[in-house]
A and B are shown apart, each in its own frame.
Chain A
Amino acid sequence: MNLYYKAKKTTINTLTHLFLLTVAITCIYPLIWMVAASFKTQETIFSNTSLIPRKFHFENYYFAFTKGNFSRYFLNSIFYTVSVVSAVVIISSLSAYAFSRLRFPGRNIIFLVFIAAMMIPVPGSFVPLYVLLNKLRLRDTPLGYILCMINVGLPTSIFLLKTFFDTLSKDLEDAARIDGCSKLRIWWNIALPLSKPMLAVVVILNALNVWNEYVLALVIFDSKNLMPLQRALMMFRGEHVTDYPLLMAGLTITAVPIIIIYLIMQKYIVRGVSGILFG
């Protein structure tokens, strides 16, 4: 009897792991393919379907970075990501602190409006943004794109930081206030350092969002040398439709940084997701 249960348990365990492992391989396989193909040549890519190329051709990367202008697009993406993320961190933590700690008329209403924006879907919001940026003469400028992306990140970030500030004890801040510390300095010297774990969540979620963004980049940018990677990839594909090794090199350049950052900051994403959904 005991043996029967043991055998049954082992079988179930093996099947469970088999199931999980199959899906895991399905997740990784296309990416390994992408990286492998980026080291092949146009001749070998269709004939040789092995995952490890016989000879590593770095020309694709060389071509992508130089003639393909990917060095430029890569720097653009980094510039947009860093600018948007730092602005979102400053602006959202300032207002989240106010929503959590300071008193002023209209506080709850304004906070609710931000939360509502998180929930109400506005499909096609790129149409009015296109018109607006044209009017402000900000279309096809980095500033226009950065401002739009800051706005995209604000509601969720404010919500996450506000709920986090609510859980922090006020003792330290009270002590600082009695010592004559200004509100702005309390925010900078006490609230921000204490909220580092949630700031990390805000940073990673926004970084993913900006790095992977395509639609606004499509609507806003006409100038090639301003484009971020995602937008450049689609344009690049139009010019090199069948040059798959080169395209795969471009895709690898785009995907690998974000995968590495994700693997390093994984636990913050999990925390962020449960923070947004379960409060």
Chain B
Amino acid sequence: MKLKPTLSNYVFILPAVVIFTVFYIIPFLFILRVSFFDWDGIGNLNSAAFVGFDNFKEIFLHDSNWWQSIRNAGWITLIALTFQNVLAFLLAAACDRAVKFRNFYRAVFFIPPVLSEIVVGMVWRFIINDVDGANIVNNFLVNIGLGRFVHNWLSDPHTALNTIAIIHCWKGFGWAFLIFLAGLQTIPREFYEAARLDGANSWQLFKNITMPLLTPVVVLVAILTILGTMQSFVLILGLVGGELAGYTSVPVLRILTVMRDSSHFGYACALGINLGIILMAVSFIQYSFSRKARNYLG
């Protein structure tokens, strides 16, 4: 290979590689390094105290705020995995058969995901909040005779997290729906027709054709849901704004708070690594579990 043409080929990828190195790879390595220091983010890192694994020890032994935030996000994720994804699947299955208006439904279901988390959070706060909002939900409950369920949904610690989770599902189900629908439409119709001719009922069709063929898509949606939900926090900022309390705190919000309020940059990076590893582990377990399941199903 001639040298000059090869060199000129690198020119094509040069801008991407430079930007990516400066704004992705260097920050990535930086996180790994800084997590071993007690650093305030201002002074020279070289003169900061190297603390070894102390940041991580602190996380595992003493940081109850952090684990509380992980539990909160885990709970929201659990609701998203079950309620949101089952709803999305049912909608996709319905849309897959109801050919009329399919494009209309698809267009409407994807509007919430298109909106920013700030907009969604602020609009919903207005709709459900008693303190300063119009509390449309409470008015509705009174009107249909369920006045005893009227509630300060966001400020009551018992309901705040579930309220956030439901709104999170409202914003997110369109994604899952879109992926499920795309997955359903890749299944050849002949499979169903052939099985029908052999006398299979709807449940058998679902169990023996749809489920096995859709397993990879289900796993994909599950992994994306976990990655997205565990890291989401802007929606909560939009919903509860300044008055953050422990019962609505989530991991990335903790990282932001640790960085901005107490300037523990090293500790913030250690928290980031901790969450990153948890997420990688969970998606890896899910992925390998699904491969096992698929092998088992044949």
- Residues of A whose CB lies within 8 Å of any CB of B are 13, 16-17, 19-20, 23-24, 26-28, 30-31, 33-34, 37, 45-46, 49, 90-92, 94-95, 97-99, 102-105, 110, 113-114, 117, 120-132, 147-148, 150-151, 154-155, 158, 183, 187, 208, 211-215, 230, 233-234, 237-238, 241-242, 244, 247-248, 251, 254-255, 258-259, 262-263, 266, 269-270, 273-274, 277-278
Residues B122 and A233 in contact, CB atoms below 8 Å apart: yes
B79 at interface, CB cutoff 8 A: no
Residues A121 and B280 in contact, CB atoms below 8 Å apart: yes
Residues A28 and B23 in contact, CB atoms below 8 Å apart: no
Could you say which interface size class chain B belongs to? 35 or more
Given contacts A121-B280, A127-B255, A128-B30, contact A19 B178 (CB under 8 A): no
Residues A154 and B19 in contact, CB atoms below 8 Å apart: yes
Given contacts A20-B95, A33-B136, contact A247 B122 (CB under 8 A): yes
Q: Of A97, A131, A151, which one neighbours B23 at CB under 8 angstroms? A: A151
How close is B230's CB to chain A, nearest CB, in angstroms? 8
Residues A158 and B16 in contact, CB atoms below 8 Å apart: yes
Q: Which of chain B's residues have a CB closer than 8 A to the CB of A30?
A: 123-124, 127
In whole angstroms, how far apart are the Cα atoms of A19 and B34 in the complex? 51
Can you list 8 contacts pairing A with B, beta carbon distance less than 8 Å?
Answer: A30-B124, A91-B15, A121-B279, A124-B271, A131-B41, A214-B116, A230-B119, A270-B178
Residues 126 to 144 of chain B near chain A (Cβ within 8 Å): 126-127, 132-134, 136, 139
Q: Which of chain A's residues have a CB closer than 8 A to the CB of B26?
A: 128, 132
- Closest Cβ neighbor of B265 among chain A residues: A127
B51 at interface, CB cutoff 8 A: no
How close is B9's CB to chain A, nearest CB, in angstroms? 4
Q: Which of chain A's residues have a CB closer than 8 A to the CB of B110?
A: 262, 266, 269
Q: Of B20, B41, B87, which one neighbours A114 at CB under 8 angstroms? A: B20
In whole angstroms, how far apart are the Cα atoms of A16 and B182 in the complex? 19
List 9 other contacts, CB 8 Å, given A132-B26, A234-B237: A16-B97, A27-B111, A27-B112, A30-B127, A91-B16, A124-B269, A129-B27, A248-B123, A274-B182
Q: Of A94, A122, A263, A269, which one neighbours B13 at CB under 8 angstroms? A: A94
Stretch in B100-108, B151-159, B192-200, B207-215 touching the partner: B100-108
B150 at interface, CB cutoff 8 A: no
Residues B251 and A104 in contact, CB atoms below 8 Å apart: no
B201 at interface, CB cutoff 8 A: no
Given contacts A132-B23, A132-B27, A277-B179, contact A123 B123 (CB under 8 A): no
Interface of B, secondary structure class, is helix
B268 at interface, CB cutoff 8 A: yes
Q: Which of chain A's residues have a CB closer than 8 A to the CB of B78?
A: none
Residues A125 and B123 in contact, CB atoms below 8 Å apart: no
Q: Of A24, A105, A263, which one neighbours B6 at CB under 8 angstroms? A: A105
In whole angstroms, how far apart are the Cα atoms of A49 and B142 in the complex? 14
In whole angstroms, how far apart are the Cα atoms of A40 and B251 in the complex? 38
Q: Of B87, B95, B127, B175, which one neighbours A33 at CB under 8 angstroms? A: B127
How close is B39's CB to chain A, nearest CB, in angstroms? 9
Residues A117 and B20 in contact, CB atoms below 8 Å apart: yes
How close is B183's CB to chain A, nearest CB, in angstroms? 8
Q: Of B111, B136, B259, B272, which one neighbours A123 at CB under 8 angstroms? A: B272
Q: Which of chain B's residues have a CB closer than 8 A to the CB of A98?
A: 9, 12-13
Q: Which of chain B's residues have a CB closer than 8 A to the CB of A158?
A: 16
B170 at interface, CB cutoff 8 A: yes
In whole angstroms, how far apart are the Cα atoms of A148 and B41 in the complex? 19
* The 5 A-B residue pairs with the shortest CB-CB distance in the complex, in nearest-first order: A124-B272, A98-B12, A128-B27, A212-B116, A151-B23
- Closest Cβ neighbor of A149 among chain B residues: B23
Q: Of B12, B25, B27, B271, which one neighbours A95 at CB under 8 angstroms? A: B12
